[in-house]
């Protein structure tokens, strides 16, 4: 597993409110996303994602009962993108061999990619993903699709 990070995803209870905070409040520019569902910000080769808290927990197969939406810690995942499906499987196996816990075996996902999740020894969730719509550059940085 290369020493890099593709995305930090923040689980949010109200996407419009969260987008308003980052875009209108802090002045950030939306890079990609699906209106009302998910938002991505390019932080210079890696991304910050905003996604529904419950959907994020479901995606990572993390029990909702373990989420306490009102607290200050929680609902954050890390993502490591790779170049093809085989690399997703290989990376998950490598992480398990290193002592990680498999949270979700890799599968085809609704947005058109292929991904699984492992938890590091402290339970921090890492998604390992192949996303055919994003360009993973040679240095591991990610480029979002150009907007028309």
Site residues (vs its own copies, CB under 8 A): 1, 3-5, 8, 10-14, 17-18, 20-22, 24-29, 41-46, 48, 53, 57, 60, 62-63, 66-78, 94-95, 97-100, 103, 119-125, 139-141
The token pair at 8 is 């930090």
Least distance between its own copies and beta carbon 110 (Å): 21
Nearer to its own copies, 98 or 112 (CB): 98
Q: What are phi and psi of 57, to 5 degrees?
A: -65, -40
Nearer to its own copies, 64 or 86 (CB): 64
How many Cβ atoms from other residues are within 10 Å of residue 85's Cβ? 16
Cβ atoms 117, 56 nearer than 8 A:
no
Nearer to its own copies, 35 or 72 (CB): 72
Least distance between its own copies and beta carbon 118 (Å): 10
The token pair at 144 is 């979002």
Sign of CA dihedral 62, 75, 118, 130: positive
């Amino acid at each position: 597993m290369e020493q890099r990070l593709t995305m930090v995803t923040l689980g949010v209870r109200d996407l419009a409110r969260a987008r308003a905070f980052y875009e209108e409040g802090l002045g950030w520019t939306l890079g990609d996303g699906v209106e009302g569902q998910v938002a991505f910000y390019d932080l210079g080769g890696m991304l910050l994602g905003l996604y529904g808290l419950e959907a994020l927990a479901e995606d990572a197969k993390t029990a909702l009962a373990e989420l306490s939406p009102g607290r200050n810690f929680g609902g954050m995942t890390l993502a490591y993108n790779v170049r093809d499906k085989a690399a997703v499987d290989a990376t998950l196996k490598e992480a398990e061999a290193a002592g990680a816990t498999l949270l979700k075996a890799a599968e085809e996902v609704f947005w058109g990619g292929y991904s699984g999740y492992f938890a590091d020894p402290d339970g921090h969730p890492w998604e390992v993903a192949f996303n055919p719509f994003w360009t993973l550059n040679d240095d591991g940085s990610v480029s979002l699709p150009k907007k028309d």
